[in-house]
Structure 1
C-alpha cells in the first residue's frame, strides 16, 4: 500500500491512533461523524503552522493541470478524488522524470467523501505542497448533465471546506484541463 494511502487508511480506521497530525480529525472520522468547528479550527491551525502561504509566482504560471504539483481535487457526484504528487525523495537532477525516477510513481489518488476532506488534507505530508497552501479543484468533466447540479453542490461544499481551512483555491473548470 502506498505511504499516503496507508497513512490515511490508518487514520480513518483507528480513531485512537496518534499517527496522523491531528488526533481530533482521526477520532471524529473514525466515528463516522462530521467535524465540529473546534476540530476544523484545530486542523486549520495545524495546516497554517506546517504549510506556508501560497507563492503566486510559482502556481499562477501553470497552464495545464497535468503540470500541477500541489494536491488537487476532482469533485464528482458522490465523492471527491484527491490527487497528491509526493515529493521526490532523491534531491539530485540525475534521472529525474525518466524510467529510473518516473513522476507517475509518485502520484497517488484517493477517493473520499466531502466530509472527510479536512482529515485527508491534514494527512498529506508537508513536502507535497511545494506551492504553499493552495489546492487545484475541478468538477468532473465526463459526468452526465443530470448529475451536474449535484456535482456543483459538492463543489461548493468542498470550496467552503477549503476556505474554512485557510487553503487558497485555484479553480480549473475549463473543458480538457483535466489530465489526471
Structure 2
C-alpha cells in the first residue's frame, strides 16, 4: 500500500511541476517580445530623420538601374539590400564618368530576415533621395520549388518594412505594397 500511495502522490505532483515549468517560461517569452518591440522602436526612431516619400519622384522610375533609394531583392530565407551611397563630390563635373563611377558607390549586403530592420536603419540619410520608400523585387532565375519560400520571405520582408514606417514599392508591378 505504501508503494501505491507514493505512485499516486507522484501522479499528483508531476502535473503541477509541469505547469510550474510553463509559467516560468511565459515571462521569458514576454520579455523577448518586449525586447523585440524596443528594438523596433529604436529602428523607427533612426528612420524618422528621413522625410516621407516623394511620390512624384519615385513613381517616374521604372528600372532598378536608375533607382537611387535602397532596394531589396528577396531570396528564399534571406534578402539582399542594395544601397547607392551619395556622391561625396557635389559638383556635376565628371559625375558618372571614369573618375566618379556610379557603380563604385553601390553596396550590396546579404542579410537574414532578422537583421533586415537593423541594416535598413543603418543606411545613411543621404541614400534616401526619394524619402522613406524602398523598392522590392523577387530573385530572378530560381527553381519553381523555391517559389513558395520566396513568396513567404517576400511577405515577411514587406511586413518588416511596413512596421518600420517604410513605403514598399514594386518597380516591376508599378504599385505600392
TM-score using structure 2 length: 0.76
1:74, 1:80 within 8 Å by CA — same for their partners in 2? yes
Is the CA contact 1:95–1:101 (under 8 Å) kept in the aligned structure 2? yes
Other-structure match for 1:145: 144
Deviations 1:12-50 (A, max 9, x none): xxxxxxxxxxxxxxxxxxxxxxx61121022112212x1
Q: List per-residue Cα deviations over 1:27-79 (Å, max 9, x = no partner).
A: xxxxxxxx61121022112212x101011111000011110000000000121
Q: Distance in 2 between matches of 1:45 and 1:95?
A: 36
What does residue 134 of structure 1 align with? 133
Structure 1 residue 173: Cα displacement: 4.1
Matched-pair contact (CA < 8 Å) for 2:62–2:172? no
SS in 2 for 1:83: strand
Question: CA separation in 2, counterparts of 1:127 and 1:116?
Answer: 21
| Alignment partner, residue 40 of structure 2 | 40
1:69 corresponds to? 68
What is the root-mean-square deviation in Å for CA atoms of aligned residues?
1.7
Structure 2: gaps spanning 5 or more residues: 1-34
Task: Kindly indicate whether the alpha-carbon contact (under 8 Å) linking 2:63 and 2:171 is maintained by their aligned counterparts in 1.
Answer: no
Partner of 2:100: 101
Between Structure 1 and Structure 2, which shows a larger proportion of helix residues?
2
SS in 1 for 2:95: coil
Q: Count matched residues.
A: 141
TM-score, normalised with respect to structure 1: 0.75
Matching residue of 1:13: none
Is the CA contact 2:85–2:126 (under 8 Å) kept in the aligned structure 1? yes
Contact 1:77 1:150 in 2 (8 A): yes
